Amino acid sequence: MKFVLDAEQRLFGETLHKLLTETGTPALIRRWAAGDRDRTLWTALAEAGVFTLAVPERHDGAGLLPVELVVALHELGRHAVPGPIVETLAAAVLLGEADDEALGARWLPRIAAGEAVVSLVAPAVVRRALDADAADLTLLVDGEEVWSALPEGSAVRSLDPARRLFPVVAGERLAAGPAVPRAAAAAYDLGVLACSAQLVGLGRALLDTTVVYARTRRQFGRAIGEFQAVKHHLANVLTGLEFARPLVYGAALSFGSPDFARDVSAAKVAASDAAYAAARVALQVHGAIGYTDEYDPSLWIRKVRALHSAWGTPAEHRARVLAVPR
C-alpha cells in the first residue's frame, strides 16, 4: 500500500503546471469567454498526453488511467482551463464502451491526438452541451441510443462567461443497443471523477492566491492575515481541501470496482464543498476587489460555482452515496 503519487505521476502534474503557468490562463480564459476558439493550448495538452488518458490502447490511447487523469484535471483546475475537457474525456469513455468498433475507430484516435473536441449531453445528468460551438462532435445520449447533436439556437448565459451552454437537437444516430446505457453510466462516473479533480485544483489555487493576498494586504497597520478571523477561514479551507483530495484519488483507484459510482459521488460531494468554501473565503478575504470581473480570482470563483452543480448536484451525489446497499 502506497497512497501517494509516484515520481512519474508527480512529474506529469509538474509538467502540466509549468505548461499552464507559461500559457498564462487568465488572459486565455477571457479570450475564450469572448468567443475565441483557438486550439493552441488544446493541442499542447494533447501532446502532454492528457486526452490519451481515457482512450483505449487499441485506439491510440494510453488505456484508461484514472489516477493520471486526476493528476491532469487537478492541474487543469488549478489553472481554470476553459473548454469541454471533462466532456471530451467522458465522451471517450462512452465511445470506447459503446460496443461499436467502427464508431470508436472513427473518433477515439482523433480525441487522443487532440484533433477532436467533443461536447456531450445526457439529459438526466448533463443538460446542455458545454462549448458546443467549439466542438467537432456533440454527443447526445438517450436511453439505448447515442446521437450526434447540433446546437439549437444560441448559448444560454452562465455565471461563468467561459462556459457557453447550448441546448441541442438530435442529428444522426451513431449507436444503439444495451451497451449504450452501461457506457453512458461509465462515462458519467468518469466525468464526475474528472470534475471532482478539477474542483480540488480550483480550490487549491484559490487558497494559494488568497494566502498570498492575506500576507500582503495591510489594514489597521498590519497584514490582514495576522487577524485570527482571517486565519481561521483559511485554515478551514485547507482542511476541507486536504480531506477532499484523498477521496478523489481513492475514487480513481476504485475504478473498475463495484464501489466506483459511490466513491466518485463521495469525492464530488467533498471536492465541491471544499472548492466552494475556498471560493467563498477567497471572495471574502479579497474584499471588494475580489467581487470585480477584472480581478483574476473571479475567473476561478465563477467556475467553482458552475461546477458545484455540474456533473450531478451535491444533493444527487449524497443520495447516490447512501443509495448503494451495504
> For binding to other proteins (CB under 8 A), which residues are involved?
1-6, 9, 67, 207, 211, 214-215, 222-223, 225-228, 230-232, 234-236, 238-239, 242-244, 246-247, 249-250, 253, 266, 269-270, 314-315, 318-319, 321-322, 326
Nearer to other proteins, 107 or 255 (CB): 255
Report how far Cα 312 is from the mean position of its chain's Cα atoms: 12
Least separation in angstroms between CB 252 and other proteins: 8
- For residue 314, with 0-12 CB atoms within 10 Å meaning exposed, 13-18 middle and 19 or more buried, which class applies? middle
- For residue 226, with 0-12 CB atoms within 10 Å meaning exposed, 13-18 middle and 19 or more buried, which class applies? middle
Nearer to other proteins, 1 or 102 (CB): 1
| Residues 295, 160: Cα–Cα separation, whole Å | 14
Least separation in angstroms between CB 5 and other proteins: 6
Least separation in angstroms between CB 263 and other proteins: 8
Helices 228-253 and 66-78 pack at an angle, to 10 degrees, of 150
Nearer to other proteins, 165 or 214 (CB): 214
Least separation in angstroms between CB 2 and other proteins: 5
Per the structure block, which three cell numbers stand in for 69? 487523469
Per the structure block, which three cell numbers stand in for 165? 451552454
CA dihedral 171, 176, 179, 184 (to 10 degrees): 20
Nearer to other proteins, 113 or 321 (CB): 321
Nearer to other proteins, 173 or 215 (CB): 215
Least separation in angstroms between CB 268 and other proteins: 10
CB neighbours (10 Å) of residue 22? 8
Least separation in angstroms between CB 286 and other proteins: 15
Residue 224 phi, psi (nearest 5): -65, -20
User: If DSSP codes are grouped into helix, strand and coil, which group holds residue 148?
Assistant: strand
Nearer to other proteins, 182 or 318 (CB): 318
| Residues 264, 273: Cα–Cα separation, whole Å | 14
Nearer to other proteins, 102 or 326 (CB): 326
Least separation in angstroms between CB 236 and other proteins: 7
Nearer to other proteins, 32 or 255 (CB): 255
The angle formed by the CA atoms of residues 180, 149 and 186, to the nearest 5 degrees, is: 30
Least separation in angstroms between CB 215 and other proteins: 6
Least separation in angstroms between CB 68 and other proteins: 10
Q: Which long-range contacts (CB under 8 A, 24 or more apart) does 215-221 make?
A: none
Nearer to other proteins, 4 or 102 (CB): 4
Q: What is the DSSP letter of 312?
A: S
Of 160, 192, 193, 189, the residue nearest 80 (C-alpha): 160
| Residues 83, 39: Cα–Cα separation, whole Å | 10
